[in-house]
Structure 1
Amino acid sequence: MELIAWRNWAEQMTTGLALVDAGLRVEWVNPALAELLDIGPRSAVGQPLGLLLHEPSWLEHAERVLAEQGGMQFRGVVLASARGSETIVDLNLQALGPERLSIEVHALTKATATSSPLSATLRGFAHEVKNPLAGLRGAAQLLQRRVHDEDLQALAGMVIAEADRLAALANRLLNHDGAPKLAPVNIHERLERLCDLLQAEPMPIRLRHDYDPSLPDVLGDADRLQQLLLNLARNAIEAGAKTLALRTRVEHGVRVGERSLRTALRVDVIDDGPGVPADLRETLFEPLVSGRSDGSGLGLALSREIARDHGGELRYTSRPGETVFSLYLPLERTHE
């Protein structure tokens, strides 16, 4: 992404961002970082990096990043503001060519700083995807402006929308927003969006639908539920499935943890792949567990976490030729 476009994008971010030149002097900071450090964005320009971060060791780290043209990440470090207050942050240094590096700062809540291994792993993942997402979005915007074919413009718009959705998810992971932001969600609209994404791929999988049209809306976070469904579909495709069936039903008397749901929405994602290997069946939803050598082992773990954040559950049954992942979501909210 061009520097001007990157800065325009970064101005809107809630993540703290800065650019530093090869002499380790501040070129620019966004409003989010200026607020965190209790400084004016303009007054920071031209200042040595050591004064900005109030820690001499960061100069050594920055010099190394520039020399090696790489990046460095630091988890749970203490960052002091100009007024002496301290904040626990995740900090990322990344070279942007030989003359410049970026600094990315994510303030952590107390809950995030003491988070579970899964949450820490997901925050690390979120760090890694945000910069590629920004580049992806910028490239899609350029394509959308330059092509005249309406279908191609629509595809570029889809890329932009998905990049924005994933960037929002990454911010939630990094900032530990907690409970999902609930609103009425039409699950069939989410499933049709999933189909649009899958059909836009170079070799789209065959899709079948079996919807119950009488289903009411469910209370949920549309973006997180979209991610859950996409994770399930991707998992099936990467496992070798050729056909994916999407089914919705109302389920009665579902047991979720210690609760019994009188009525629940059930979404089944059914694939014709080889099935879950026997040695993974007990640990399939654990983080970093994957049946593929190149798999991250995060998709299903995150999906179950999203389901439980919604007061629901994710389950599966599997045999060669038919694997069914079933998402259960409450249709009537119970009060503890």
Structure 2
Amino acid sequence: MNDRADRRWAEPLATGVALADAQLRLCWINPSLAELLDIGPRSAVGQSLAVLLHQPEWMALAKRALGEPSPLQLRGVDVPSTRGDAGRMDVSMQALPSGELLLEVHALAAPANADTPLSATLRGFAHEVKNPLAGLRGAAQLLQRRIDDEALRSLAGLVIAEADRLATLANRLLRNDGTAARPEPVNIHEQLERLGELLRAEPSGPVIRHDYDPSLPDIQGHADRLLQLLLNLARNALEAGAHTLVLRTRAEPATRLGDRVARMALRVDVIDDGPGVPASLRDTLFEPLVSGRSEGSGLGLALAREIAREHGGELRYTSRPGETAFSLYLPMGHAHD
């Protein structure tokens, strides 16, 4: 957790993340939070958390969080930047076993007329990644035309579809105009079937079982993002030692999603037969940089939770040796306070 190489894995997160030491001095900050607050990551290191957030009264909360087993949550607070403006954000403060304080900052939706340009670095990455994706897609198309084996043709089709999905994400970044992509109807079972195809194409793919409720309607969302969430959950389970996955869907009445209650929610369970979540990680499992494997980045579950929240949903889990279930809850229809 304290290793600098591990921290680099948090750079792709849209969530702002920082670490402070036991004296509440900033010891690391990711690019997203630096950009939100308009500060230089290097110049910020060593400064007091009060200077970073411009809120002296939050120092008392941060000191309290260092001694609490559960994270402290601040909802919809105004966090100023060095430009003098302020954005509304959700802030979480979580004590880590290392004695450090993990700070998470989620920027809330800006007004439709807000000017929120994408960083030049991220735009450059999105532009550059399109060229190898085009080459990958072209090679897969040639293979698909030249081979007669239907199974191999299907695998080439998977490569083409995944290249298209990543190209769509890159184009979305390049077209960024400060507004989110419009949600569309998504059939969650189609995404789960797609997940199964991708996992079975891997060299040591798992046994996959389905337990669907076919009566469930489409939901509003982003198919590519939800597929990425499900991939992260499945790969996390396989990397932890699971051999069998059960993909289950159900309707869940009167479900609390954040600060609101959905009269009806869609629940998607990814259940594995792995060894279970270690007790030492259960309170911080969804936090960035937290991993149960020495080579793990601690990024997959944090990104999965981020995508769930983008859709107005929640990600939860239950675990015991031999059965761990990650459950994605998504609203169906309108939620109320």
- TM-score clears 0.5: yes
Asked if 1:291 corresponds to 2:296, the answer is no
Further displaced range: 311-320 or 285-294: 285-294
Kindly report which structure 2 residues correspond to 1:114-263, keeping only aligned pairs within 5 A, or say none: 133-172=133-172, 179-263=180-264
Report the Cα offset of residue 220 of structure 1: 1.3
For residues 301 and 282 of structure 1, the distance between their equivalents in structure 2, rounded to whole angstroms, comes to 13
Letter in 1 for 2:156: A
Report the Cα offset of residue 250 of structure 1: 0.5
Kindly report which structure 2 residues correspond to 1:1-336, keeping only aligned pairs within 5 A, or say none: 111=116, 133-172=133-172, 179-334=180-335
Contact 1:271/1:324 (<8 A) preserved? yes
For residues 289 and 126 of structure 1, the distance between their equivalents in structure 2, rounded to whole angstroms, comes to 27
Determine what percentage of the aligned residue pairs are the same residue.
73
Decide whether aligned partners of structure 1 residues 279 and 198 sit closer, same or farther in structure 2, where only a CA change above 3 A counts. Answer: same
For residues 162 and 258 of structure 2, the distance between their equivalents in structure 1, rounded to whole angstroms, comes to 32
Decide whether aligned partners of structure 1 residues 328 and 173 sit closer, same or farther in structure 2, where only a CA change above 3 A counts. Answer: farther
CA deviation string 1:261-302 (max 9, x = no partner): 110000000001111222222222222222223323222111
State the superposition RMSD in angstroms. Answer: 3.0
For residues 137 and 127 of structure 2, the distance between their equivalents in structure 1, rounded to whole angstroms, comes to 16
For residues 175 and 281 of structure 2, the distance between their equivalents in structure 1, rounded to whole angstroms, comes to 31
Contact 2:261/2:336 (<8 A) preserved? no
For residues 201 and 137 of structure 1, the distance between their equivalents in structure 2, rounded to whole angstroms, comes to 18
For residues 110 and 294 of structure 1, the distance between their equivalents in structure 2, rounded to whole angstroms, comes to 39
CA deviation string 1:207-240 (max 9, x = no partner): 1111111111111111111111111111111111
Report the Cα offset of residue 174 of structure 1: 6.6
What SS is found at the alignment partner of 2:155? helix
Letter in 2 for 1:143: L
Report the Cα offset of residue 308 of structure 1: 0.9
CA deviation string 1:13-52 (max 9, x = no partner): xxxxxxxxxxxxxxxxxxxxxxxxxxxxxxxxxxxxxxxx
Contact 2:267/2:330 (<8 A) preserved? yes
For residues 240 and 127 of structure 1, the distance between their equivalents in structure 2, rounded to whole angstroms, comes to 36
Number of residues of Structure 1 aligned to a counterpart in Structure 2: 225
Decide whether aligned partners of structure 1 residues 211 and 292 sit closer, same or farther in structure 2, where only a CA change above 3 A counts. Answer: same
For residues 124 and 283 of structure 2, the distance between their equivalents in structure 1, rounded to whole angstroms, comes to 25
Decide whether aligned partners of structure 1 residues 134 and 277 sit closer, same or farther in structure 2, where only a CA change above 3 A counts. Answer: farther
Report the Cα offset of residue 173 of structure 1: 5.4
Report the Cα offset of residue 136 of structure 1: 3.0
Report the Cα offset of residue 130 of structure 1: 5.5
Contact 2:260/2:336 (<8 A) preserved? no
Q: Which runs of 4+ in 1 moved over 6 A?
A: 122-129
TM-score where L is the length of structure 1: 0.59
Contact 2:319/2:325 (<8 A) preserved? yes
For residues 127 and 296 of structure 1, the distance between their equivalents in structure 2, rounded to whole angstroms, comes to 25
Letter in 2 for 1:149: D
Report the Cα offset of residue 112 of structure 1: 5.6
Contact 2:191/2:227 (<8 A) preserved? yes
Contact 1:179/1:309 (<8 A) preserved? no
Structure with higher RCO (Cα < 8 A, 6+ apart): 2
Letter in 2 for 1:268: D
For residues 260 and 173 of structure 1, the distance between their equivalents in structure 2, rounded to whole angstroms, comes to 32
What SS is found at the alignment partner of 1:274? coil
Structure 1 portions without partners, runs of 5+: 1-74, 77-108, 115-119
Contact 1:275/1:319 (<8 A) preserved? yes
What SS is found at the alignment partner of 1:111? coil
Contact 1:253/1:263 (<8 A) preserved? yes
Contact 1:180/1:310 (<8 A) preserved? no
